[in-house]
Amino acid sequence: MKFTARTLLAAAVAVGAAATAPAEMKTGTPAIKSVTALAFGPNGVLFVGDPQSATVFAIDTGDAKGTPAKELNVADLGGAIGSVLGTTAANVAVNDVKVNPASGTVYLAVTRGKGKDAQPLILTLDATGQAKEFKLAGVSFDSLVLPNASEKQRLEAITSLGFVEGKLIVAGLSNEEFASTLRAVAYPFKDKADPTSVEIYHGAHGKYETNAPVRTFVPYKIGGADYLMAAYTCTPLVKVPLTDLKPGTKVKGTTIAELGNRNRPLDMIVYTKGGADYVLMANSARGVMKIPTDGFAAAEPLTAPVKGGGAGGVKFETIVELKGVMQLDKLDGERALVLIANDDKTLTLKAIPLP
């Protein structure tokens, strides 16, 4: 009896998983050459940014239910991953960390080995913090080749991926021209030929404007309208209305904050606490910043240079107890997941209460 019940359950799960995979998907092994950015779409669909093959893969993880780990603190993440992959922490690079919002499972974009050995892999962490390889053989997947991304020696770095309002947003930076584009692609990938690509500009204090590739972004609603809160390679924080991202257009982001010199934003999340919304931003030199969003709608574009290397624009506080944070994601309504580079070069991944 027990045997039968288990078989039935397994069958039901299999059917359930198949039913969630969009019709466009095929079954097989996606030929991923590199993995630098991850994002989640609906029902546990994982987007994998592969700059070396100028492709974004959409993989049905079949991981659409669950609850996040109660405790999560992996003191030596590199060592834990290395152990699973038959090597040491020195041969493991963690390129991105994302939480599957459908299940709370943590996904890691990892490169194992260096040089000609470099091999892209995806790992998950279970509720006890144990790393496990997410095997790509026999998954349901679809892929989108980024048009014009690859020609002769040209490639595009995929600096950030995000999913908002049925669209996958791909921020890229070419290894040749600086005038890079932001791509907005409807998912499931239907019109593969022509994903919207938008030239992004930066109006520096109202006088000069220049091309401005996006380094990282997070979708956010301001007054009922969808925006991307984005960090340019040249400027810390701008807002870009999502409705402006139309084919062939020129979009100018509005600078809402300068967050100090010799500092670059690394990752951002948006969360709600006590009825108010905040952006939490990890930076290369100035720690983790908590920025209330209530000023975003009214924020006037910064029109005068911020003098003396300080910060300007919207107000923020620095979370002093968080140091070395490289990556951020929201684990659930109360907690964030942070990837920390320690002084001894080890990596720690842990859950912290949202500040």
Q: Which residues bind another protein (CB under 8 A)?
A: 36, 51-52, 79, 82-88, 90-91, 93, 95, 112-119, 150-155, 157-159, 173-179, 202-212, 215, 233-235, 258, 261-262, 264, 266, 284, 305-309, 312
Strand 225-232 versus strand 237-241 pairing type: antiparallel
208 CB neighbour count, 10 Å cutoff: 8
Shortest Å, Cβ 175 to another protein: 4
Shortest Å, Cβ 315 to another protein: 17
Which of residues 176 and 317 has its CB atom nearest to another protein in the complex?
Answer: 176
Which of residues 173 and 256 has its CB atom nearest to another protein in the complex?
Answer: 173
Which of residues 20 and 52 has its CB atom nearest to another protein in the complex?
Answer: 52
Q: Are 22 and 135 in contact (CB under 8 A)?
A: no
3-state SS record for 321-341: CCCCEEEEEECCCCEEEEEEE
Which of residues 36 and 293 has its CB atom nearest to another protein in the complex?
Answer: 36
**SS3 state at 90:** helix
84 φ, ψ to 5°?
-70, -30
Residue identified by tokens 């390889």 is: 133
Shortest Å, Cβ 306 to another protein: 4
What are the tokens at 267?
Answer: 């990752």
CA-based R_g, the chain, Å: 20
Shortest Å, Cβ 3 to another protein: 29
Which of residues 205 and 290 has its CB atom nearest to another protein in the complex?
Answer: 205
315 φ, ψ to 5°?
-80, 150
Which of residues 85 and 108 has its CB atom nearest to another protein in the complex?
Answer: 85
Which of residues 79 and 295 has its CB atom nearest to another protein in the complex?
Answer: 79
Burial 116-142 (b: 16+ CB within 10 A, else e): eeeebbbbbbeeebebeebebeebbbb
Shortest Å, Cβ 95 to another protein: 7
Which of residues 104 and 236 has its CB atom nearest to another protein in the complex?
Answer: 236
**SS3 state at 122:** strand
Shortest Å, Cβ 270 to another protein: 21
Angle CA 129–134–139, to nearest 5 = 150
35 CB neighbour count, 10 Å cutoff: 23
> CA–CA separation, 97 vs 21, rounded Å?
23
Shortest Å, Cβ 82 to another protein: 8
Shortest Å, Cβ 294 to another protein: 24
**SS3 state at 115:** helix
